[in-house]
């Protein structure tokens, strides 16, 4: 009997391009798809659930897991550590499940080295920097300074988009979702 491995579907892009919304819609559309929940050392927020939003651990535990090679990728962001469980990814894709990650370009670069055979790397961007700024303003979650910082980071991230298999401009969330679904179908047929 022929057994297929699952795909590792990595979605990256600047803050405000719709990655979270696209990820939620993909998980609804593909109920057999598994979402990789990041491990972090940052503090749990009031609205978050441990094991659902993130897996929250202490700094000591995270550092031990780094030494033991338990992360497929990890990074320090704002003084906190964030990582992706290697065991989770490998068990899922080896069992035939597709795994979805919403991750920054730094993490995607690390994952590309490990999972280039099973990975599908999709970069999502906005039609323009002005559109991105408007979307961030509409969220009403960040100060003007924070938005400026996100825009500066977005410009750097966009330069990394040529390292991805696919680059999609998210003008319309439903059209972008259709494009991602076509990419997934095409990649499954090819493999």
Position 161 scores a pLDDT of 96
pLDDT at 3 over 90: no
The answer to whether residue 171 sits within a structural domain is: yes
Residue 45 falls in which region: left (phi positive, over 0), alpha (psi -120 to 50) or beta: beta
Does residue 1 sit within a domain? no
- For residue 159 the two structure tokens come to 């330069």
- Average pLDDT over the chain reads 92
Look at residues 111, 98, 97 and name the one whose alpha carbon lies nearest to residue 164: 111
pLDDT digit string (tens) for 16-36? 999 989 999 999 999 899 999
Q: 69 CB contacts (<8 Å, ≥6 apart)? A: 86
Does 17 fall in a domain? yes
| CATH number of the domain to which 41 belongs | 3.40.50.300
Are the CB atoms for 85 and 51 separated by under 8 Å?
no
**Contact between residue 93 and residue 6 where contact means Cβ atoms under 8 Å apart:** yes
Q: Which domain holds residue 26?
A: 8-190
The pLDDT value given to residue 92 = 95
Is residue 98 domain-resident?
yes
Find the angle CA(15)-CA(18)-CA(21) to the nearest 5 degrees: 125
The model's pTM: 0.89
Tokens 């033991």 belong to residue = 68
Number of domains in the chain: 1
* Amino acid 9: pLDDT: 97
Q: Is residue 23 part of a domain?
A: yes
Please indicate, yes or no, if residue 180 is contained in any of the structural domains.
yes
Kindly state whether residue 2 falls inside one of the protein's structural domains: no
Q: What is the mean pLDDT of residues 66-77?
A: 93
Residue 114 lies inside a defined structural domain of this protein: yes
């Amino acid at each position: 009997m022929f057994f297929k491995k699952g795909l590792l579907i990595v979605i990256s892009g600047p803050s405000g391009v719709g990655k979270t919304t696209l990820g939620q819609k993909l998980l609804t559309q593909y109920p057999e798809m598994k979402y990789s929940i990041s491990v972090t050392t940052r503090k749990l927020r009031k609205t978050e659930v441990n094991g659902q939003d993130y897996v929250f651990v202490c700094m000591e535990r995270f550092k031990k897991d780094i030494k033991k090679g338990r992360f497929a990728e990890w990074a320090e962001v704002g003084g906190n550590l964030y990582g992706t469980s290697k065991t989770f990814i490998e068990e899922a894709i080896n069992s035939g499940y597709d795994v979805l990650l919403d991750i920054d370009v730094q993490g995607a670069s690390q994952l590309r080295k490990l999972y280039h055979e099973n990975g599908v790397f999709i970069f999502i961007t906005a039609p323009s920097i002005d559109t991105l700024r408007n979307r961030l303003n509409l969220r009403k979650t960040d100060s003007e300074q924070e938005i400026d910082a996100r825009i500066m980071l977005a410009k750097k991230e966009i330069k990394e988009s040529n390292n991805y298999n696919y680059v999609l401009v998210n003008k319309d969330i439903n059209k972008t979702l259709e494009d991602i679904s076509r990419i997934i179908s095409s990649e499954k047929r090819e493999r």
